[in-house]
Amino acid sequence: MIARANGNHVSITGLGWHVPERVLTNDELAGIVDTSDEWIRDRTGIRQRRIAAPEEAMSDLSLAASRRALEDAGVRGEDIDLVIVATVTPDMMFPATAALVAEQIGATRAAAYDLSAGCTGFMYAIAQAYGMVAGGLVQRALVVGGDILSRILNWSDRSTLVLFGDGAGAVVLERVDEGGFLGFELGADGAGGRELLLPSSGSRKFEDSVPPYLTMNGREVFKFATRVMVSSAEAVLEECGRTVEDVDVYVPHQANVRIIDHAARKLGFPDEKVVVNVDRYGNTSSGSIPLALADAAGDGRLQPGKLVLMTGMGAGLTWGSALIEWTHETNGATA
């Protein structure tokens, strides 16, 4: 699916984030599995990640990020008409984490639901929210992207344990006079679903010997990621009549620094245009891109008029890109 914005100006008007206090370093992981700081850094670029406390759930991370986003937008919870939480680690299958968050922020008249698209969840969610706001169905939407992946990892599996962390980001979307989202490109390839999955987590019965932990074919996912991170970005730029040279800030999914470097090099982005925080947070799935946006806001890169390209990929296998002319004077808070 690829589409240019329909002429209605919808933009991000508030940005918030939250990560757990617990920092887990590579050296600490080396005491759990057969690995080392050097091994992890060389292959992923990650040096540490955040891990949620036992009593923390997805709604807790979402609520903290949402409150920051609402404050940044200068609106109240009751002003929100739609809440979407993009996550693969909800508090529970139902009620939706989004409904819990909506209640806690006072969005008592809002529609609320969760969205599952793996690490691409935030991209899918902002596209849906854009459509609802642009179509006049809602005035303001709150989109949260985040995960507590530490709960679904096999802590004896080095190949996945070193990659992931916990965190969440949130944005408020509403109509603006000019600028805002220019276009989206979204896609999915179910044939590749077996390469990145959480078995025994739904109605599909697996053999008893298959544990309910995140399972990934790293080689195939890497090949997929390096391909779609480039093709999706190119597609949305072409659809919107823009080029790489027009882009001021490139915000890729923070899965692995090798994937980020490959995509940036193939697309032709210089280092100063690329937002990278995977070294501090690891792969936070749906939280990855909004946390990176918070970093870009904190270092002053997200200024009104700047052209921002976001691209994600993840389980499904899914992918998605969005191009936005930034309109918001951010508060400078860094994730």
The catalytic site residues sit at: 119, 253, 283
Taking the C-alpha atoms of residue 13 and residue 104, their distance in angstroms, rounded to an integer, is 21
Contact 192, 224 (CB under 8 A): yes
Taking the C-alpha atoms of residue 267 and residue 258, their distance in angstroms, rounded to an integer, is 14
CA dihedral 42, 48, 49, 52 (to 10 degrees): 140
Listing DSSP states for 69-110 in one string gives HHHHHT--GGG--EEEEE-SS-SSSSS-HHHHHHHHHT-TT-
Contact 260, 278 (CB under 8 A): yes
CA atoms within 13 A on the CB side of 56: 24
Q: And the tokens for 199?
A: 């078995």
The H or E element spanning position 15 is strand 10-18
- Which residues 6+ apart lie within 8 Å of 34 measured at CB? 158
Q: And the tokens for 67?
A: 């409150």
Radius of gyration of the chain (CA): 18
Bridge partners of residue 184, in order along the sequence = 3, 322
